[in-house]
Amino acid sequence: MSRSTESADLRDNASPVAAALEFGPLNRLAGYQLRRAHSRFFSNFAESLAEYSVTPVQLGLLLMINHNPGVSQTALARAVGIERSTLGEFIDRFQDRKLVERRGSLVDRRSHALHLTIEGATFVKNVMPAVFAHEESVMSVLTPADQVTLVRLLAQIARD
C-alpha cells in the first residue's frame, strides 16, 4: 500500500484510540526512528520516479558507475556493500536495458570494467531532477541546517 493511500485511510478512520497510543521506549530508540524514517523516505520513491522504473539501489549503482567509469564489479560490490553475486544480477539487468556495458578490463583480464552506455548516461541525467525533487519533498520538514546535520550524522552511522 502506498503511503498516500495509507494517509488517506488514516484521515478517514482516525480514532481517539489510535491517536492516544503510547509508544513507550520506541520513541527514544534510534533504531525504531531510523526504520520509520527509512520507510517514510522510500514508500513513495517508486511513485515519484514511476516513469523511470528504477529502485534506489539500482540508481545508486548507476551513479557509482557513472562517476567511476571502468570500475570492476568486485570494487563496486565492496564500495556499496552488496554481495558480488547479487551485483552481477543487477548488472545483467542493466545490460538487458542497454544502460550498462561490461568491457574487458585493462588492469585485470579476469574482471570486467563497467561503463554506462550513452543511453545509460542519458538515463542518469534525466532521472536526477526527479531524485532531487523527491529528496527535497521529504526533507522539507527540516530546516536547511537540520538537513545538513541529518546527512552528516547518518553518514557517521553508515560508515563502519
Site for a copy of itself in 9-68 (CB under 8 A): 9-10, 13-15, 17-18, 21-42, 45, 56-57, 60, 63-64, 66-68
Lookup result for grid cell 494517509: 7
Stated as kind and residue range, the H or E segment containing 103 is strand 100-104
Which residue number, 6 or 47, has a Cβ lying nearer to a copy of itself?
6
Cα distances from 13 to residues 1, 3, 4, 9, 20, in angstroms, run 16, 15, 14, 6, 14
Q: Residue 20 CB: number of other CB atoms within 10 A?
A: 7
Q: Which of 46, 52, 75, 130 binds a copy of itself (CB under 8 A)?
A: 75
Which span sits near a copy of itself by CB under 8 A: 91-99, 115-123, 145-153?
145-153
Query: Which distant-in-sequence residues (6+ apart) come within 8 Å of 46 by Cβ?
Result: 55
Are the C-beta atoms of 142 and 150 separated by less than 8 Å?
yes
Q: Which of 121, 127, 130, 138 binds a copy of itself (CB under 8 A)?
A: 138
Which span sits near a copy of itself by CB under 8 A: 95-103, 114-122, 127-135?
127-135
Which residue number, 13 or 96, has a Cβ lying nearer to a copy of itself?
13
Of residues 81-120, those binding a copy of itself (CB under 8 A): 81, 83, 107
